[in-house]
Amino acid sequence: METKKKYFIETFGCQMNVHDSEKIAGMLIDLGYEESSSKENSDIIVFNTCCIRETAELKIMAKIGDTKALKKKNPNLLIVVCGCMTQQKGMSDILKKRFPFINLVIGTHNLNELEDYIKEYNYKSKFNSIVWDKEQEIKEDTKIYRTSKYNAWVNIMYGCNNFCTYCIVPYVRGRERSRKVEDIVKEIEELVKENKYKTITLLGQNVNSYGHDFNDGRTNFVYLLNEICKINGDFKINFMSSHPKDFSFELIDFIATHNKMSRALHLPVQSGSNSVLKAMNRRYTAEHYKALVDEIYKKIPGVSLTTDIIVGFPGETEQDFEETCDLLKHCRFSSIFGFVYSRRNGTPAATFENQVPDKVKQNRITRLFELQHQISREELQKMIDNKFEGVIEKDEKGNLILKTFNGKSIKLNEDNLEIGQVRKVLVTDIVNNELQGKVV
Ligand code: SF4
pLDDT of 151-178, one tens digit each?
A: 999 999 999 999 999 999 999 999 999 9
Residues of the chain with CATH 3.30.750.210: 148-262
Give the domain 387-439 fold.
OB fold (Dihydrolipoamide Acetyltransferase, E2P) (2.40.50)
Using left for φ > 0, alpha for ψ between -120 and 50, and beta otherwise, residue 13 falls in left
pLDDT of residue 18 exceeding 80, the answer is yes
Give the domain 6-130 fold.
Rossmann fold (3.40.50)
Angle subtended by helix axes 54-66 and 91-98, to nearest 10: 40
Q: For 382-405, what is the HEC assignment?
A: CCCCCEEEEEEEECCCCCEEEEEC
pLDDT of residue 1: 62
Q: What is the CATH number of domain 264-382?
A: 3.30.750.200
Exposure string over 325-348, b if 16+ CB within 10 A, otherwise e: bebbeebebbbbebbbbbebeebb
Cα separation, 43 vs 33, in Å, equals: 9
Please report which confidence band the pLDDT of residue 287 belongs to, taking 50, 70 and 90 as the band edges.
Answer: very high
Q: Is residue 324 within 8 Å of residue 371, measured between CB atoms?
A: no
Instruction: Report the nearest atom of ligand 1 relative to the CA of 163.
Output: 7
Q: How many CB atoms lie within 10 A of CB 61?
A: 17
- Between the CA of residue 101 and those of 10, 33, 49, 115, 213, what are the distances in Å? 17, 22, 17, 20, 41
Percent of the chain with pLDDT over 70: 99
pLDDT digit string, tens, across residues 47-63: 999 888 888 888 999 99
Regarding the beta carbon of 142 and ligand 1, being less than 6 Å apart is answered no
pLDDT of residue 133: 84
pLDDT of residue 53: 82
Task: Compute, in angstroms, the gap from residue 243 CA to the centroid of ligand 1.
Answer: 8
Kindly indicate whether the domain formed by 148-262 is annotated with CATH number 1.10.3720.10.
no
Please report which confidence band the pLDDT of residue 292 belongs to, taking 50, 70 and 90 as the band edges.
Answer: very high
Regarding the beta carbon of 281 and ligand 1, being less than 6 Å apart is answered no
Q: In the beta sheet, which residues pair with residue 340?
A: 311
- Between the CA of residue 159 and those of 132, 135, 156, 198, what are the distances in Å? 15, 9, 11, 27
pLDDT of residue 194 exceeding 90, the answer is no
pLDDT of residue 399: 87
pLDDT of residue 395: 85
Task: Compute, in angstroms, the gap from residue 163 CA to the centroid of ligand 1.
Answer: 6
Residues of the chain with CATH 2.40.50.140: 387-439
Task: Compute, in angstroms, the gap from residue 343 CA to the centroid of ligand 1.
Answer: 15
Pocket test of ligand 1: the residue of 243, 246, 313 to mutate, having most ligand atoms within 8 Å of its CB, is 243
pLDDT of residue 341 exceeding 90, the answer is yes
pLDDT of residue 124: 61
Residues of the chain with CATH 3.40.50.12160: 6-130
Atom 4 in ligand 1: which residue has the minimum CA distance? 205
Residues of the chain with CATH 3.30.750.200: 264-382
Instruction: Report the nearest atom of ligand 1 relative to the CA of 243.
Output: 1
Pocket test of ligand 1: the residue of 51, 84, 167 to mutate, having most ligand atoms within 8 Å of its CB, is 167
The mean per-residue pLDDT over the stretch 359-374 comes to 98
Regarding the beta carbon of 169 and ligand 1, being less than 6 Å apart is answered yes
pLDDT of residue 325 exceeding 90, the answer is yes
Please report which confidence band the pLDDT of residue 319 belongs to, taking 50, 70 and 90 as the band edges.
Answer: very high
pLDDT of residue 260: 96
The mean per-residue pLDDT over the stretch 321-347 comes to 96
Angle subtended by helix axes 286-299 and 318-331, to nearest 10: 10
Q: Is residue 427 within 8 Å of residue 326, measured between CB atoms?
A: no
The mean per-residue pLDDT over the stretch 141-156 comes to 91
Instruction: Report the nearest atom of ligand 1 relative to the CA of 173.
Output: 5
The mean per-residue pLDDT over the stretch 328-348 comes to 95
Cα separation, 325 vs 319, in Å, equals: 10
Cα separation, 91 vs 287, in Å, equals: 41
> E strands within 241-346?
264-266, 304-311, 335-340
Please report which confidence band the pLDDT of residue 214 belongs to, taking 50, 70 and 90 as the band edges.
Answer: very high
pLDDT digit string, tens, across residues 90-142: 999 999 999 999 999 999 999 999 998 998 876 667 788 888 888 877 888 88
Regarding the beta carbon of 164 and ligand 1, being less than 6 Å apart is answered yes
The torsion angles phi and psi of 289, rounded to 5 degrees, stand at: -60, -45
Cα separation, 233 vs 190, in Å, equals: 11
Instruction: Report the nearest atom of ligand 1 relative to the CA of 241.
Output: 4
Does a cis peptide bond (omega within 30 degrees of 0) precede residue 241? yes
Residues 6 or more apart in contact with residue 199 via CB below 8 angstroms: 150, 151, 152, 235, 236, 237, 238, 262, 391, 403
pLDDT of residue 122: 65
Atom 8 in ligand 1: which residue has the minimum CA distance? 167
Pocket test of ligand 1: the residue of 14, 84, 165, 169 to mutate, having most ligand atoms within 8 Å of its CB, is 169
Computed over every residue of the chain, the mean pLDDT equals 93
Please report which confidence band the pLDDT of residue 14 belongs to, taking 50, 70 and 90 as the band edges.
Answer: confident
Task: Compute, in angstroms, the gap from residue 224 CA to the centroid of ligand 1.
Answer: 21
Regarding the beta carbon of 56 and ligand 1, being less than 6 Å apart is answered no
Mean pLDDT lowest among 288-302, 315-329, 364-378, 389-403: 389-403
> For the chain, how far is it from start to end, CA to CA, in angstroms?
50
Task: Compute, in angstroms, the gap from residue 34 CA to the centroid of ligand 1.
Answer: 35
